[in-house]
Copies of this chain bind each other. A is one copy, B any other.
Amino acid sequence: MDYQPQPDAAWAVLQPVLGAPAALGALPAFADTDAALMQQVLDEAGKFVGEVIAPLNRSGDEIGAQWNSGAVTMPPGFREAYQQFWQSGWPALASATEDGGQGLPAVLECVLYEWMSAANHGLTMAPGLLHGAYECLKHHGSDELKARYLSKIATGEWLATMCLTEPHAGSDLGLARTRATPQTDGSYLLSGTKIFISGGEHDLTDNIVHLVLARLPDAPPGPKGLSLFLVPKFYQDGQRSKVVCDRIEEKMGLHGSPTCVMRFDDAQAWIVGEPGKGLNAMFVMMNAARLHVALQGIGLLDAAWQKADAYARERRQMRAPGSAARTGEADRIDAHPAVQRILDTQRAWVDCGRVLAYRTGIELDMARHHPDATRRTQAQRWCALITPVLKAAWTDQAFHGGSDCLQVFGGHGYVREWGIEQIVRDSRVAMIYEGTNEIQAIDLLVRKTLPDGAQALDALLNDLLADLGEHPATALGRTATGLFTELRDAAHALGKAAPHDAAAPYWVAGDFLRLMALALMAWAGARIEAAARTEPALASDRWQRPLTALAHWVLPEATLRAGLIRARCAVQPVSA
């Protein structure tokens, strides 16, 4: 069974829960984007993903991308599907019209990529990096570079890469050694080796644009010595650049996406942005990419849930406790509490994850297009604080919850035939790339929360409380309010501990992120609960059972996490 996008479920989150059409329609940029247009886009996206992208998932895993003497052949059907994808305008959905895009809200792109990832994580890696590259080039590229590359990237006619990691420089990009030597014509020659480059080489498009972190000859050591450069696979004159794919990695999963070792051998390149500001330019790409990875997590978990739910409705084993059935030999396994609990819990993670991720997509639109600077600042705060939580918690859940869904199949789950084990293997990488989940936790706590005395976090939580106040009071709303207090208390305890115990925040950063994820889940659940008062579809078992599971089985973990943080703040440091 291939993944099937459910436009109705996405729309239920976008319209009754989040009121997206009204919020976005109020922006001058989207004055022409009404609910009907949004629904039409979703319907077409759902059809495209279900019919063209999803059927290639299994063979993408089994055949995989193949390397041969520097060339990479993608799995059968991938090139045709990608060509159809960009020619139908999907990559350019939210790009500016002046760059060849459709200028639609970013939140629609979020839904599209969630479905794409659910349907075929490997293939989706290729266009997944386009959007960050587009933003990066648009904001930091010279007019000449933009003229050459921006519309090709905006439309997806050419694909792009982010070349950051080196063998000894992973989480610590400051250790990167790739050199850039200035030439008299204003260009540079790049030399060095980059690893873990998704889509570094492939046959999906006629050209590939690499964005590469490298070091100028006079650059200081560390992150401040890094600049960003652009090298295409083919130059304007059709000549091939001195960029070689030395091999692709054999991986646990994600076989449909070539993970390349790229060697730059005095390759001619152009600088993007200011010398020494390479990481700043790259962070533009990374924030977009992190939300994208969060959506992968949500999508893959939904794909796992779809499979497990369908299996549990067919498979019969034993009598369920308290079963009234007297016919047949056994009950459907979705009547067994252990299976129900797994299914409803994962459904809760998907539903609440969507509320949060789609709302983040809307905030991205606000940050870009709202006429009021205060509202834009508020939206940027939302994105800065919530993106790392979504990235880490929902990719964790894709893997662990995906494994729970595998468990529903018993022994059949371990066998390739059912496709669920592929989801578990594919999803594992999302906990690592675009900043490991440990790095996300440090980003949230140590970089974005503690330095300003938790003011930004306080402001975000006040926004969320004010938002709750605008909707009917619910049980989950009360839980969310309590968890926000726990989260503030945790932030303040860590703020007090850190000056005399510098390591304390690093020990419990993961717990802090998890506590925040649970608090946000409660908020998201409360918004579904509130919307269900007026929207009958949301009052059904489909939406309400996951909320019950959320309250019973998911949210109690928050107390554990808060306790771990408090205990660490009370403990004297073990070492200096």
Contact of A1 with B by CB under 8 A: no
Smallest beta-carbon distance A146→chain B, Å: 31
Mark the stretch among A110-118, A288-296, A369-377, A431-439 that contacts chain B: A431-439
Q: A322 contacts B438, CB within 8 Å?
A: no
In chain A between 368 and 417, which residues have their CB closer than 8 angstroms to a CB of chain B? 399-400, 403, 406-407, 410-417
Contact of A473 with B by CB under 8 A: no
Closest to A342 in B: B438
Contact of A329 with B by CB under 8 A: yes
| Known A250-B415, A324-B576, A506-B337; contact A403-B407, beta-carbon cutoff 8 A | no
Q: B560 contacts A317, CB within 8 Å?
A: no
Contact of A559 with B by CB under 8 A: yes
Closest to A165 in B: B411
| Residue from B330, B412, B553, B567 in contact with A552 in the complex, judged by beta carbons closer than 8 Å | B567
Q: Which residues of B contact A406 (CB under 8 A)?
A: 428
Q: B399 contacts A411, CB within 8 Å?
A: no
Q: A411 contacts B510, CB within 8 Å?
A: no
| Known A221-B329, A410-B171; contact A506-B321, beta-carbon cutoff 8 A | yes
Contact of A51 with B by CB under 8 A: no
| Residue from B403, B429, B563, B568 in contact with A399 in the complex, judged by beta carbons closer than 8 Å | B403
Q: Which residues of B contact A429 (CB under 8 A)?
A: 411, 414
Closest to A422 in B: B252
A506–B322 Cα gap in the complex (Å)? 10
Closest to A433 in B: B411
Smallest beta-carbon distance A473→chain B, Å: 22
Smallest beta-carbon distance A88→chain B, Å: 32
Contact of A172 with B by CB under 8 A: yes
| Residue from B165, B410, B442, B506 in contact with A432 in the complex, judged by beta carbons closer than 8 Å | B410
Closest to A400 in B: B400
Q: Which residues of B contact A417 (CB under 8 A)?
A: 249-250
Q: A317 contacts B410, CB within 8 Å?
A: no
Type the 1/0 row for A225-260, where 1 means its CB is closer than 8 Å to any CB of B: 000000000000000000000000111111000010
A336–B407 Cα gap in the complex (Å)? 33
Contact of A77 with B by CB under 8 A: no
Smallest beta-carbon distance A255→chain B, Å: 11
A168–B174 Cα gap in the complex (Å)? 56
Contact of A557 with B by CB under 8 A: yes
Q: Which residues of B contact A552 (CB under 8 A)?
A: 564, 567-568, 571
Contact of A196 with B by CB under 8 A: yes
In chain A between 521 and 576, which residues have their CB closer than 8 angstroms to a CB of chain B? 548, 552-553, 556-557, 559-560, 563-564, 567-568, 571, 573-576
Q: Which residues of B contact A413 (CB under 8 A)?
A: 432
Closest to A336 in B: B506
| Known A330-B175, A560-B556, A567-B556; contact A170-B431, beta-carbon cutoff 8 A | no
A407–B438 Cα gap in the complex (Å)? 9
Q: A507 contacts B556, CB within 8 Å?
A: no
| Residue from B175, B338, B432 in contact with A411 in the complex, judged by beta carbons closer than 8 Å | B432
Smallest beta-carbon distance A421→chain B, Å: 4
A211–B491 Cα gap in the complex (Å)? 60
Q: B573 contacts A338, CB within 8 Å?
A: no
A36–B338 Cα gap in the complex (Å)? 48
Q: Which residues of B contact A251 (CB under 8 A)?
A: 414-416, 421
A425–B242 Cα gap in the complex (Å)? 38
A399–B250 Cα gap in the complex (Å)? 21
Q: Which residues of B contact A317 (CB under 8 A)?
A: 169-172, 175
A563–B552 Cα gap in the complex (Å)? 10
Contact of A26 with B by CB under 8 A: no
Smallest beta-carbon distance A64→chain B, Å: 12
Q: Which residues of B contact A175 (CB under 8 A)?
A: 317, 329-330
| Residue from B318, B559, B576 in contact with A171 in the complex, judged by beta carbons closer than 8 Å | B318
Contact of A502 with B by CB under 8 A: yes
Contact of A509 with B by CB under 8 A: yes
| Known A407-B432, A414-B252; contact A563-B556, beta-carbon cutoff 8 A | yes
Q: Which residues of B contact A329 (CB under 8 A)?
A: 174-175, 221
Contact of A121 with B by CB under 8 A: no
A313–B58 Cα gap in the complex (Å)? 38
Q: Which residues of B contact A215 (CB under 8 A)?
A: none
Q: Which residues of B contact A576 (CB under 8 A)?
A: 322, 324
> What are 16 A-B pairs at a CB distance below 8 A?
A168-B316, A172-B330, A195-B411, A249-B415, A249-B416, A324-B576, A336-B506, A337-B503, A337-B507, A338-B438, A338-B509, A403-B428, A553-B564, A559-B559, A559-B563, A560-B560
A sample of 20 more A-B contacts (CB under 8 A), given A252-B424, A407-B438, is A168-B316, A170-B411, A174-B318, A195-B411, A249-B414, A251-B414, A251-B415, A321-B506, A322-B502, A322-B503, A337-B503, A337-B507, A338-B442, A400-B400, A410-B432, A410-B436, A414-B428, A425-B425, A552-B567, A556-B567
Query: Which 9 A-B residue pairings sit nearest by Cβ, starting from the closest?
Result: A252-B421, A172-B317, A337-B506, A338-B438, A250-B416, A337-B507, A322-B502, A321-B503, A172-B318
Q: Which chain A residues have a beta carbon within 8 Å of chain B's beta carbons?
A: 165, 168-172, 174-175, 195-196, 221, 249-254, 259, 316-318, 320-322, 324, 329-330, 336-339, 341, 399-400, 403, 406-407, 410-417, 421, 424-425, 428-429, 431-433, 436-438, 441-442, 502-503, 505-507, 509-510, 548, 552-553, 556-557, 559-560, 563-564, 567-568, 571, 573-576
